[in-house]
C-alpha cells in the first residue's frame, strides 16, 4: 500500500471499526473538544481586552479646554439596586456645541433621562418598580449598545439645570495609547495564563491515548496481513488524526455556543459582547497545527515499548525502568529560571518566570510515574482490594499517573495563583472609608449641599418603618484640613464615648492630630457652597473616642459641636451625613432610602462601596483576580470531565480482566474498592508534588514583587480536598461499568 492508502485505511478503521471504535472516537472527541474550546477562549483574550479598552477609551473624559467648545458640566454618582451597581452621570450643556456623551444623539435637557439597554429592561420589568423613582423625568432614549462597557452594564445619563457644580468636560474619548498594566498585575496574569493552559495541553496528549489496547490489536491484524511496521505506524497516526479533527470541530462548536451566550454571563464586574470573543487568526492556525501534532506525538510515544507482530502485540514484560535524568532536568531547569533575583518590571524577568513555571508544571506529569514506581515497588500485603490496586500500579503505573496528572497540574497552578493573589490582596489593602450598612443595621447617606441636607433628612425620616434618623451637619475648618460636625446631644452620645452632653458643648476626637481648637479661638468655616463664616469656639473641646462600629461618615468630622455652640453661624448651606435605622430587618429598606433621596439627584449619595475604597490599580487587580478564578473553575471542570472520560476508557479496556476476576470468585465490590485505591494513591502523591510546585512558583513571584510569602493554607486544603472529591466521584461513576464488565460473557473470544 502507498502512504495515502495507509492513511485512508486508518481513517476507515477510526470511524468504521465497529461499536468499540465509535465509542473510542466519541470519548476522544469529547476530551479534545473541551480542551480546544478552552484554547480558543484563551486565543480570544487579547481581542477581548482590546475591545474593552477601546470602549473605555471612548468614554474617557477630556478636561482640557478647547477653543470654541462650550463645556459640559459633568458629575458622576453611583447607586445600587439589590446588589447590582448602577452608574448615573448628571450632565448640563452650557451651549449648543457642548460635547455629547458617547452613545447619545444629544445632551439630555433638564428632566430628561437616557439609560443603557440593560437598565431599560430592568426599569420595564416588574422588579424595576422599586427602582423607577430614582430616575424622575422623561426617558428620551437608550444608550447605543456599542458605547456601554458590557452587555449587562447598568448606567444612565440625567440632564439637570445650571445648578450642577460638576467638572467642565470639553470632549469624550482619547486616542492616546492605553496605560500598560502594572507590573505586579501583569506578572499575576502571565503566571495565571501558564498555570491554566498547561493542563489543557496535558489533557490533549492524555486523551489521545484512549483505546490504545484495541488499536494495538487491530494493528497486529494488519501485520498478519503483510503490513510493515512503518505502515502500521502511519495507520495508527491516521486513526489518531481523525479524533483530533473531530475534537477540533467539536471544540469550535462548543466555543461558538459559549460565544453566543457570553452576553448573559458576567463574572463580578467583567462582561463581554459576543464580538469580543474573536480568536486571533495566528493563534487559531497554531491551535489547528498544534493539537493534531500533540495527539500524533502521544500516539507514537505510546508505541515505543510495544512490538506489534503478526500474531499479536508484545509489550515489554519486565518492569519499565523509568529514566530520571530528563524528568529531573525539567524540574532543575524550572528552578534555575526561578531562583535568580529579577526586577519585576523587566521583560526578561517575566519571560523567565513564565518559562520556569511552565517547566515546573510540566515536571509534575513527568515526575509522577517515576515517583509512583518508587513508592509502590516495595509495598506488600494489605486487604485484597489494596493488593489488587498495588499490583496494578506495580505492573503499569503510567496509566493511573496519566489519569490524575492533569488534575494535579491544575492543583499546582491554582495553589500558585491563590497564594500569590492572597499576598497581592494584602498589598492592595482596600482603605476603609464608608459603609453602606453599619453593624447596628443603619443605612448611611450623605447630602452634599445645604438644600439637600435641609430636605433629604426629613424625607428619609418620613419613610415608613424608620426607627430613627441621626444626622450631622458638616463644615470645613479653613486652614486646618479638618471638618466640623454639628449634631444634637443624642447623636453625639450615640457615636462617641461622651457620657454627658449639654447644648453648647464642643467635643474633639481624642487621637486626632489634625485641628486643635481652644476656647476663644476664631476660625473660618466653609459650607458646601464655599461661603465662609467666622466662628469663635465657645468652650475647650472635650476629648472623646468614637464608638466602634458606628457611622463611618462621622469620622470625617474630627470636631463635634452642639447647635448651641454655633452662635452666629448659619447652617443652611452646610451638608449633612446621616444614618437611618429600620424598625425591622428589611432587605429593601436601603432601596427605600435611595428612593427618598433620589429627587435631590447629584446632591445626595447613599454609600454603595461597603467599607472599601478601590484605587484604579486595586480595581484592575480585582478584575484580574476574578477572571483568573473564573477560568480556574472552568479548568477544574475540564479536568473532571477529562478524568471521567479516561476512567471510563480504562474500565472498558480492562473489561476482560475484570470479567476474569469475577469468574474466579473475586467480589465486584472488591474490584470497585481497588479502583478507588488505584486512583487515590497516585492522587495523594501528585497532590504533594503539586503543593510543593505551587509554593515554589509563588515564592519566586513574591520575591520579585518584594513582598512576604503568604500561603493560604486553608485554600490549599480546600483545593486538595476538592481534587480528592473529584477523583472519588469520577471513580464512583465507573462502578456501573465495572458491574457490566464483571459479567461472564466478557470472557468470550474469537
The residue extents of the domains of the chain are: 3-51+180-428+616-747, 61-172, 443-606
What percentage of the chain reaches a pLDDT higher than 70?
Answer: 73
Q: What is the mean pLDDT of residues 100-116?
A: 92
Q: What pairs with residue 466 in β-bridges? A: 582
Whether the predicted pLDDT of 227 surpasses 80: no
pLDDT of residue 619: 56
Residue 442 has pLDDT above 60, yes or no: yes
pLDDT of res. 652: 73
Higher pLDDT, 311 or 18: 18
Residue 413 has pLDDT above 70, yes or no: yes
Percent of the chain with pLDDT over 90: 12
Confidence band (pLDDT; 50, 70, 90) for 610?
very low
pLDDT digits (tens, 9 = 90+) for 42-92: 888 888 878 888 888 888 888 888 888 899 999 988 888 887 888 999 999
- Which helix H or strand E contains 280, and what residues bound it? none
Q: Residue 142 pLDDT > 90, yes or no?
A: yes
Residue 129 has pLDDT above 50, yes or no: yes
The residue among 153 and 546 whose pLDDT is bigger is: 153
Contact (CB, 8 A) for 252 and 36: yes
Q: Region 130-153: what's the mean pLDDT? A: 88
Q: Stretch 454-474: mean pLDDT, rounded?
A: 89
For residue 24, pLDDT over 50 is answered with: yes
Q: Is 161 exposed, middle or buried (0-12, 13-18, 19+ CB in 10 A)?
A: exposed
Model confidence, pTM: 0.69
Query: Among 165, 156, 172, which Cα is nearest to 101's?
Result: 172
Q: pLDDT by residue (tens digit) across 548-594?
A: 544 444 556 788 999 999 988 988 889 888 888 888 878 888 899 99
Q: Identify the residue with better confidence: 297 or 216.
A: 297
Say how far apart CA 256 and CA 271 lie, in whole Å: 17
Say yes or no to pLDDT of 328 above 90.
no
Question: Model confidence over 168-212: pLDDT tens digits?
Answer: 999 888 765 555 556 666 666 677 677 777 777 777 776 666 655
Q: What was the pLDDT predicted at 552?
A: 43
Answer yes or no: is pLDDT of 116 > 90: yes
Q: Is 709 left (phi over 0), alpha (psi -120 to 50) or beta?
A: beta
Alpha carbon distance 401, 681 (integer Å): 9
Is pLDDT at 233 greater than 80 in this prediction?
Answer: no
pLDDT band at residue 143 under the 50/70/90 scheme: very high
Q: Which of 147, 157, 165, 171 is nearest to 110 (CA)?
A: 157
* Residue 702, pLDDT score: 75
Give residue-wise pLDDT tens across range 613-633: 444 555 555 566 666 666 666
Say yes or no to pLDDT of 430 above 50: no
pLDDT score of 438: 42
- What is the C-alpha to C-alpha distance for residues 115 and 486, in angstroms, rounded to an integer? 38
- How far, in Å, CA of 559 to CA of 516, rounded? 9
Q: In this predicted structure, what is the pLDDT of residue 435?
A: 38
Q: What is the DSSP string of 605-664?
A: EE--STT-B--HHHHHHHHHHHHHHHHHHHHHHHHHHHHHHHHHHHHHHTHHHHHHHHHT
**Mean per-residue pLDDT, 441-452:** 83
pLDDT of residue 563: 92
470 phi and psi, to 5 degrees? -110, 140
What's the pLDDT band for 431 if we cut at 50, 70, 90?
Answer: very low
pLDDT at 315 > cutoff 90: no
Computed over every residue of the chain, the mean pLDDT equals: 78
The answer to whether 407 and 726 are in contact (CB under 8 A) is yes
Of the listed ranges 316-320, 645-649, 651-655, the least confidently predicted one is 316-320
What DSSP assignment string belongs to 235-277? HHHHHHHHHHHHHHHHHHHHHHHHHHHGGG-EETTEE--GGG-
What pLDDT score does 612 carry? 43
Range scoring the smallest mean pLDDT among 44-53, 208-217, 502-511: 208-217
How does residue 21 score in pLDDT terms, banded at 50, 70 and 90? low
Q: Is 345 exposed, middle or buried (0-12, 13-18, 19+ CB in 10 A)?
A: middle
Q: Residue 388: how many CA atoms within 13 Å on its side-chain side? A: 20
From CA 368, how far away is CA 719, in angstroms rounded? 19
154-158, 259-263, 422-426: lowest mean pLDDT where?
422-426
Amino acid at each position: 500500500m502507498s502512504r495515502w492508502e495507509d492513511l485512508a485505511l486508518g481513517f476507515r478503521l477510526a470511524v468504521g471499526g465497529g461499536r468499540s471504535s465509535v465509542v473510542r472516537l466519541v470519548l476522544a472527541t469529547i476530551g479534545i473538544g473541551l480542551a480546544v474550546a478552552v484554547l480558543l477562549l484563551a486565543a480570544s483574550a487579547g481581542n477581548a481586552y482590546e475591545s474593552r479598552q477601546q470602549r473605555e477609551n471612548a468614554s474617557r473624559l477630556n478636561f482640557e479646554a478647547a477653543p470654541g467648545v462650550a463645556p459640559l458640566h459633568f458629575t458622576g454618582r453611583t447607586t445600587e439596586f439589590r446588589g447590582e451597581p448602577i452608574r448615573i452621570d448628571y450632565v448640563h450643556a452650557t451651549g449648543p456645541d457642548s460635547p455629547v456623551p458617547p452613545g447619545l444623539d444629544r445632551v439630555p435637557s433638564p428632566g430628561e433621562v437616557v439609560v443603557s439597554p440593560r437598565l431599560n429592561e430592568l426599569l420595564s420589568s416588574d422588579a424595576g418598580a422599586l427602582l423607577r423613582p430614582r430616575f424622575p423625568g422623561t426617558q428620551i432614549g437608550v444608550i447605543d449598545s456599542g458605547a456601554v462597557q458590557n452587555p449587562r452594564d447598568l448606567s444612565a445619563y440625567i440632564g439637570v439645570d445650571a445648578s450642577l457644580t460638576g467638572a467642565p468636560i470639553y470632549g469624550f474619548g482619547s486616542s492616546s495609547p492605553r496605560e500598560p498594566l502594572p507590573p505586579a498585575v501583569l506578572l499575576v496574569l502571565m503566571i495565571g495564563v501558564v498555570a491554566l493552559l498547561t493542563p489543557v495541553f496535558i489533557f490533549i496528549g492524555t486523551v489521545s491515548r484512549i483505546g490504545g489496547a484495541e488499536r494495538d490489536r487491530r494493528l497486529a491484524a494488519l501485520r498478519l496481513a503483510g503490513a510493515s511496521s512503518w505502515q502500521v505506524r502511519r495507520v495508527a497516526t491516521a486513526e489518531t488524526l481523525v479524533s483530533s479533527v473531530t475534537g477540533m470541530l467539536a471544540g469550535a462548536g462548543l466555543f461558538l455556543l459559549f460565544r453566543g451566550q457570553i452576553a448573559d454571563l458576567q463574572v463580578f464586574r467583567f462582561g463581554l459582547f459576543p464580538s469580543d470573543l474573536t480568536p486571533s487568526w495566528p493563534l487559531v492556525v497554531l491551535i489547528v497545527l498544534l493539537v493534531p501534532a500533540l495527539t500524533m506525538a502521544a500516539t507514537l510515544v505510546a508505541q515505543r515499548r510495544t512490538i506489534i507482530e503478526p500474531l499479536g502485540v508484545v509489550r515489554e514484560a519486565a518492569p519499565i525502568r523509568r529514566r530520571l535524568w530528563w524528568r529531573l532536568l525539567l524540574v532543575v531547569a524550572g528552578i534555575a529560571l526561578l531562583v535568580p533575583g529579577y526586577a519585576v518590571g523587566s521583560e526578561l524577568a517575566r519571560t523567565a518566570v513564565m518559562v520556569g513555571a511552565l517547566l515546573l508544571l510540566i515536571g509534575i506529569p513527568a515526575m509522577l510515574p517515576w515517583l509512583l514506581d518508587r513508592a509502590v515497588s516495595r509495598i506488600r500485603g494489605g486487604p485484597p482490594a489494596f493488593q489488587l490496586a498495588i499490583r496494578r500500579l506495580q505492573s503499569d503505573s503510567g496509566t493511573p499517573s496519566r489519569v490524575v496528572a492533569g488534575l494535579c497540574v491544575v492543583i499546582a497552578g491554582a495553589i500558585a495563583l491563590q497564594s500569590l493573589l492572597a499576598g497581592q490582596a494584602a498589598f492592595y489593602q482596600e482603605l476603609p472609608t464608608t459603609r453602606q450598612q453599619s453593624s447596628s443595621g443603619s443605612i448611611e447617606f450623605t447630602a452634599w449641599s445645604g438644600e439637600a441636607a435641609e430636605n433629604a433628612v426629613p424625607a428619609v425620616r418620613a419613610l415608613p418603618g424608620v426607627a430613627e434618623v441621626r444626622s450631622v451637619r458638616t463644615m470645613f475648618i479653613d486652614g486646618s484640613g479638618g471638618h466640623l460636625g454639628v449634631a444634637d446631644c443624642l447623636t453625639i452620645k450615640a457615636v462617641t464615648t461622651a457620657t454627658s452632653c449639654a447644648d453648647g458643648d464642643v467635643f474633639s476626637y481624642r487621637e486626632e492630630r489634625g485641628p486643635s481648637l481652644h476656647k476663644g479661638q476664631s476660625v473660618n468655616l466653609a459650607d458646601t457652597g464655599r461661603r465662609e463664616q467666622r466662628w469663635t469656639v465657645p468652650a475647650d473641646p472635650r476629648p472623646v473616642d468614637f464608638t466602634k462600629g458606628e457611622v463611618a461618615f462621622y469620622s470625617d468630622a474630627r470636631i463635634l459641636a452642639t447647635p448651641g455652640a454655633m452662635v452666629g453661624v448659619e447652617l443652611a448651606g452646610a451638608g449633612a451625613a446621616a444614618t437611618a435605622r429600620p424598625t425591622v430587618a428589611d432587605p429593601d429598606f436601603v432601596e427605600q432610602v435611595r428612593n427618598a433621596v433620589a429627587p435631590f439627584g447629584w446632591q445626595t449619595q447613599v454609600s454603595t462601596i461597603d467599607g472599601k475604597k478601590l484605587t484604579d490599580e486595586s480595581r484592575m487587580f480585582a478584575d484580574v483576580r476574578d477572571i483568573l478564578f473564573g477560568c480556574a473553575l472552568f479548568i477544574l471542570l475540564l479536568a473532571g470531565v477529562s478524568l471521567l472520560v479516561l476512567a471510563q476508557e480504562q474500565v472498558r479496556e480492562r473489561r476482560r480482566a475484570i470479567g476474569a476476576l469475577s469468574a474466579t470468585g473475586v467480589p465486584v465490590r472488591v474490584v470497585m474498592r481497588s479502583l478507588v485505591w488505584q486512583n487515590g494513591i497516585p492522587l495523594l502523591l501528585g497532590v504533594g508534588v503539586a503543593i510543593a510546585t505551587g509554593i515554589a512558583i509563588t515564592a519566586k513571584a513574591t520575591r520579585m514583587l518584594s513582598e512576604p510569602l503568604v500561603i493560604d493554607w486553608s485554600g490549599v486544603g480546600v483545593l486538595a480536598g476538592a481534587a480528592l472529591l473529584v477523583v472519588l466521584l469520577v471513580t464512583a461513576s465507573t462502578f456501573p461499568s465495572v458491574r457490566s464488565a464483571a459479567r461472564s460473557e466478557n470472557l468470550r473470544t474469537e
